[in-house]
Amino acid sequence: MNDSTASSFAASSGRDTEPPVGTAPVPMWLMVLPILLFFGGALYFDWTAAWFNPVVHAPFTSLKQIESLQPSTGGDRLLIRGKVVYEQVCALCHGVDGAGKPGQAPTFVGSEWVLTDNVGQLIRIPLQGLAGPITVKGQEWNLAMPAMGAALPDEDLAAVLTYMRNAWGNQAPPVTTEQVTATRNATKGRTQPWSAVELKAVQ
């Protein structure tokens, strides 16, 4: 701005001095606002971050730990159901711990008949029963197990066999309801218990 425009501005505004710089009080709302913001922020933090509560912020130590906190999957439900059926129906002879009982029934722990890939063979045992000589983990047995298939729905039989294949240190893929249904249909009409030799021939 040169002199002539400055003087013409002063003339047109009716003043020939700069506006004075004075002090004015800070408006009240401007003093209250930061307090409110801080307080609101603290409340929000409290709601969402739980004030560094160690339970909330504890790091997970493993993926397994996270999985254990997830809602049960279908597979878990099958195992839970299987345990119930097992303890009601099979444990009487084979033991709650699956270890069998001398003179009553052979073990399931590490049994080749339980862990077999040929699940059709395994499903037939509870469906129609088993009688005669059988070797389980190198031990000879020659008793008879009654049929219990008619009393068990396909889902329960699948659940109990899946449980037996994954309890007591056993580890084998689940037996599905479809596999049980298929085996039940394939053996319809059979009332005689199976022999170990016959089961070995099952494809």
Sites of contact with ligand HEC (CB under 6 A): 89-90, 92-94, 105-108, 111, 113-114, 122, 125-126, 130-132, 134, 136, 141-146, 148, 160
How many angstroms separate the first and last alpha carbons of the chain?
104
72: left (phi over 0), alpha (psi -120 to 50) or beta: beta
Residue 77 C-beta: closest distance to ligand HEC, Å: 19
In the complex, the smallest distance separating the C-beta of residue 200 from ligand HEC, rounded to whole angstroms, is 12
Nearest to 171, CA basis, from 96, 117, 125, 100: 117
CA distance 82 to 75: 10
Q: How far is the CB of 188 from ligand HEC (least distance, A)?
A: 19
Q: Would you say 31 or 168 has its CB closer to ligand HEC?
A: 168
What's the closest the beta carbon of residue 70 comes to ligand HEC, in angstroms? 29
Q: Return the number of the residue (18 or 117) whose C-beta is nearest ligand HEC.
A: 117
CA gap 36, 38 in Å, rounded:
5
**Given the complex with ligand HEC, which of 84 and 182 has the nearer CB atom?**
84
Q: What angle do CA 134, 136, 139 make, to 5 degrees?
A: 90
The C-alpha atoms of residue 87 and residue 79 are separated, in whole angstroms, by 12
Shortest approach of ligand HEC to residue 159 CB, angstroms? 10
State how far the Cα of 139 lies from the Cα of 188, in Å rounded to an integer: 31
Residue number, 79 or 136, with CB nearest to ligand HEC: 136
Place of tokens 């469906």: 127
- Structural contact between residues 160 and 98, judged by C-beta atoms closer than 8 angstroms: no
Minimum gap (Å) between residue 140 Cβ and ligand HEC = 9
User: Judged by CB, which is closer to ligand HEC: 126, or 174?
Assistant: 126
27 or 173: CB nearest ligand HEC: 173
